[in-house]
Structure 1
Amino acid sequence: MKEQSTSKGFAILSSAAIAGKFLSIIYVPFLLKIIGGNRPYAIYGVAYQIYAYIYILTNAGIPSAISKIISEFVAVGNTEVQKRHLKYHDFYFFFWV
């Protein structure tokens, strides 16, 4: 990767983070008004942290682990077990994600 593209990517991610912080400055007072104060907002904040953790886990961790398992079966040549695992995990993700 070129150094120019790394610095450009860093600049884009930094500007996106700043834009997100700016939007939250605008968003939070309206949210507090809607849900009725600081205490419900604290409950919302805790629940959102749990939701964000589960969301990241299901969208980043589990699919990559499943693809690693499937690719190992394909590399070994064990297609029967690979197909069985793929069907099971497709069924699992249909109901949980």
Structure 2
Amino acid sequence: MPKLACPCGFVHDLSGIPDEGWVAIRDKDMEDYIQHERAYADGFNAPEESEERKASDAGGRAMAQMTTLFYECPKCGRIMWRKTRDEGFRIYARENPKA
């Protein structure tokens, strides 16, 4: 069961899909993301070796590379951000936790 632990001790359960996190796309990547999303949807149910299915699979991989994930700790308010799929989460604490 995948989990993401906050330094305060709270543990995010990442096993459910969808989970409580956010998926974000950079604004400059949005048009490309939409094109990949169309290719993904158009060939999703196509036969395995068809060109449509290959384009769908490539679109799905490209979409995954364009997305970033955010989680906010409900206990302390820290933000955990995975900028790319190839790196771990960066953790940011609030400057004024009482605000």
TM-score (norm 1): 0.28
TM-score (norm 2): 0.28
Higher helix share: 1
RCO higher in 1 or 2 (8 Å CA, sep ≥ 6)?
2
Higher strand share: 2
